[in-house]
Structure 1
Amino acid sequence: MTLQSIKNVVLTELNGDVEEIRRVVDIWYLASIKCHHFVSESFWHSCKEDMMNIYIPGAETVVAKYNDEIVGFISLVDNILASIFVHPDFQGKGIGKKLLFDAFGKRSDLVLNVYSKNKLARDFYKMNGFVEEKEGVDEHTGELEITMKWNG
């Protein structure tokens, strides 16, 4: 995929189809392992069922499709950016930014938590207008996380 073909990435609402949800969860899992290497893979594996049955269906999720294949997604719960992930094979091509700007068009402010050790994600959010608000500890992993906020 070239940068020119970002125009061919289409954003649509997740339709709730089990296969689409499964694809979203697969992307979440693969990207989580890659960008959260400091958390054990077994932790991410243990979360897959809840992602499939609770978190993704309970959120407002937009998927990015390239050649009719889901390659990324963003999930919002009220003004919380609950998750944004792009398949590792498609990262760094503008898909995350396209998803994020779609969310900016739907909310006047957004808040998120990001692991402190995930410098790439923190830099991505900062580049796109988020500011760090406070630090805390993720109760599930014990990792330091940072709350960031964007005000439209």
Structure 2
Amino acid sequence: MTDAVPLLRPFTLRPGRAFDARDCARIVNDWIDREPWLPRARSEAEVVRHYREDVFPSQEVTVAEAAGEVAGFMAFLPAEREVTSLFVDRRGGGIGAALLNVAKARHHHLTLWAFEANKAARRFYLREGFRLTDRTAGDNDECMPDVQYRWDAP
């Protein structure tokens, strides 16, 4: 038996707007609930509030839409050149790479953090040209070990 290849779905990228916060938080909450290794540090309502009150007002957010619905997003701090959130409602389809390319097109280097246990994300970032630069024992809300990656333009 072979692994199923995800079907590419058409999507568009656009700047995130305040009303997208709830849909973005839904994607994050669904991801938290799917990952058995990830403890829930915030309630679903707190995640919604965090994106609505903290992320959207202070960061650049790019949203991917597929079939009229938010299918993924990236939050970015331009001054720090840091991707603070990158989530897709399901793997495949090139949405994650397209979102990263928005930031790559504007900056000569980027940084981001991922949970050490998130092997799929870590493989993805390596494929996207990032390299491991730092580790912590869990300097995050979840108190889980994490790793920092950096991308430099060729």
TM-score (norm 2): 0.84
Runs of 4+ in 1 over 4 A off after TM superposition: none
SS at match of 2:34: helix
Q: Residues of 2 paired with 1:118 and 1:140: CA distance?
A: 15
Structure 1 unaligned spans of 5+: none
CA distance, structure 2, for counterparts of residue 70 and residue 139 of structure 1: 26
* DSSP 3-state at the match of 2:42: helix
Match of 2:87 in 1: 85
| Conservation of the 8 A alpha-carbon contact between 1:32 and 1:44 | no
Unaligned runs of 5+ in 2: 1-5
The equivalent residue for 2:21 is 21
Opposite residue 17 of structure 2, the aligned amino acid is N
Contact 2:21–2:48, Cα closer than 8 Å, also in 1: no
SS at match of 1:24: helix
Cα distance in 1 between the residues matched to 2:112 and 2:47: 19
CA distance in 1, matches of 2:17, 2:56: 11
TM-score normalized by the length of structure 1? 0.85
- Identify the residue that residue 142 of structure 2 maps to in structure 1: 141
Q: How does 1:111-150 map to 2 (within 5 A)?
A: 111-136=111-136, 137-150=138-151
Q: Percent identity?
A: 23
